Amino acid sequence: MDIRPALTTFSEDEIAFRDAVRSFAEGEIKPLRLHMDEKAQMDPSLLPKLFEMGLMGIETPESLGGSNTSFTMACIAVEEISRVDGSVGVLVDVQNTLVTNALLKHCTEAQKQKFLPKMAREWVASYCLSESSSGSDAFALKLKAEDKGDTFVLNGHKLWITNAFEANLFLVFANLNPEQGYKGITAFVVERGMPGFTVGKKEDKLGIRASSTCELIFENCVVPKENVIGQIGKGYKIAIETLNEGRIGIGAQMIGIAAGAYEATLEYIKGREQFGKSLSTFQGVQFQLAEMRIDLEAARLLVYNAARLKDEGKDFVEEAAIAKYYSSKAAERITSLAIDLFGGNGFTKEYPVEKFWRDAKVGQIYEGTSNMQLQTIAKLELGK
């Protein structure tokens, strides 16, 4: 059996990029973290700074206003931002690993010229697949598209849509021929302000609270034909392909959250004294810290192995599922243990670890639940 080794080293360019993003996250995001979490809203002052840093079009060609780097670079950015705040991390993740990725692969040249420069410089994007009856069963979606000649008309709802409050561009999946099942699904770009399109209520969530998660309402929403992405009836292929890639990005978010919790815990136990000794001198504490470090390192290796395979054009679907499954489980374990080691302080909002724990939970839910990752892994293994 071909067991691919994990690639653990970063190039000089990747290290410089990582350090720049870390400095940005510490300086610009960290001071706003608590306020954004309490208000359940992204601070609008952050968005222009994310664009200025080149973090919203990481793989987009320079000719279209982007940074023209790699998928691995996108994962580095998501990890480093999530190390400070998972809410901002997922905003950057959806922008890059889902929407930009899909448009780079499936847009015509004219569509790329129209949409990608705006996404690299000013437009937040949103990926719109889930509905009330369409979660893990993604292709049970009921949003209906009708061909009206020069336009399509969309009717229905989407739920749990990340970035919806801030977004100007929405990559929307709707069914043009429901009688054909998933083979009727088609992808559209819907722009904010199009007739019949409304962003609805924002969900009040346990974690990643500053990340907007909203309902979308389509009431005779008119979409021009030139906003169809890819082929009519082939939207399901775009969705599957993009989610496979996006799962690596969520893995990067999870290791960032876990790293933030681990580093906070390491600093805390060195300075906290009990029974006249530093907590770091107790063997039981040392062992728990070691377990956290092992979990974090294993998750990071899995995530970047999958990212490297993707960049190299190799098959990565199973590796992506493994990375997302393990990293989301590891993040929950690490953040929970961080609260334990902080003791009563960890249960208060004065310290950051309770937020890391709340933010970690969603990793086992969105972009494919843990059970769906297990199903993918099992099917691929049984098919060998």
CA–CA gap between residue 239 and residue 145 (Å, rounded):
17
Q: Which residue has the tokens 């950051």?
A: 352
Buried b (16+ CB within 10 A) or exposed e, 330-351: bbbbbbbbbbebbeeebeeeeb
Q: Which two tokens stand for residue 381?
A: 């293994």
Can you spell out the DSSP letters for 26-57? Answer: IIIIGGGHHHHHHHTS--TTHHHHHHHTT-S-
Q: Which residues pair with 144 in a beta bridge?
A: 155, 175
For 67, list phi and psi in degrees, rounded to 5. Answer: -95, -15
**Catalytic amino acids?**
367
Between the CA of residue 248 and those of 56, 187, 188, 219, 360, what are the distances in Å?
17, 22, 24, 34, 15
Q: Which residue has the tokens 């979606």?
A: 141
